[in-house]
Amino acid sequence: MGSMPPHEFTPGRIACVWTFSEDRQTMQRSSIDRLREDLITPDIPGSKGIRVFVKSRKIVVIARFIDHYLALPIFTHKGAGLDSKIEMKGEYVSIQNRPGFGYNAQPETEHGCLYTTTTAKDAGKKAISAHANVWFTYPLSQPYRNMVTFLGELDPESVSKLCELYLTGTKFALSNTLNNVHHSWWSNARYSLGSEKLQYLAEEAEAEEQRRQANTTQPVNKAFSAPAQEQTYSGALTRQTISGTKTGETPRNTTGFQPLKRPQPSGSSNEVSGGPSKRARG
């Protein structure tokens, strides 16, 4: 590994860096891979004894700033994939080398798969491991001066997809944060999250008033009400709230990120899933 100039850290670049975290699992030295991992016990006077887990990890660059870049980490969970992370699958997207001869890998999540510009054969020792997934809700900030080894890059479509997943996941979480703040404190600046939520509240209030007036002027003919309630897939996209609740429905708690579902045949309900990954399709 070595330091690289800032212009080398282009979005979509795949790199290997050193990461440092607290050893919360009380690992034994005999269980770590000494070629890629280590345990350090800092000797800091007056502090409780802790151990630091050092590991080399693959990352994907998604944004650059003046002094540092933003990246998303790649996990294989010791080759087991997401079998032990069932409740968190919605926060991961699979990543593999570009499909080649005999390529049969299947995405492990609903978000599909990201692909590099090279096949595993061409990448050689720099190939992406099996059961690799990008944790797009767990960003890392790294100074340009930190040591790094570049391994490859994502294709343009995958770069776009990963950025959208990161943006929608972050927006979903921040929207929930604003739900705990009175709307009078939300920003009304153009393109801000607060103004978007305020606009939605105004549209919901107007739609509710129109429904109320319609119900008071004429009775609802239940025999012909079902077709009028049908909505298209594109319509579902525009009518979702930030937290995933459709117009006219009572909000419900949702977990993770789930893709939108296309309308079912006549007679079935047309539900739209509530996660913010509505733009990410596998």
- Domain-wise residue ranges, the chain: 6-25+33-154
**From first to last of its 282 residues, what are the pLDDT tens digits of the chain?**
778 999 999 999 999 999 988 877 777 777 777 777 787 787 778 777 778 888 899 999 999 999 999 999 999 988 889 988 999 999 999 999 998 755 557 899 999 999 999 998 899 989 999 899 999 999 999 999 999 999 999 999 999 999 999 999 999 999 999 999 999 999 999 999 999 999 999 999 999 999 998 888 766 555 544 444 444 433 433 344 444 444 444 444 444 555 444 445 444 444 444 444 444 444
Nearest of 59, 13, 89, 81 to residue 277 by alpha carbon: 89
The bridge status of strand 37-40 relative to strand 92-96 is: unpaired
Tell the residue number behind the tokens 């990461």, with chain if given: 19
Question: What letter would DSSP give residue 129?
Answer: P
CA angle 82, 87, 89 (to 5 degrees): 45
Instruction: Give kind and range of the element (H or E) at residue 204.
Output: helix 193-217
Beta-carbon contacts of residue 219 (< 8 Å; ≥ 6 apart): none
270's CB contacts (< 8 A; 6+ apart) are 229, 230, 231, 236, 263, 264
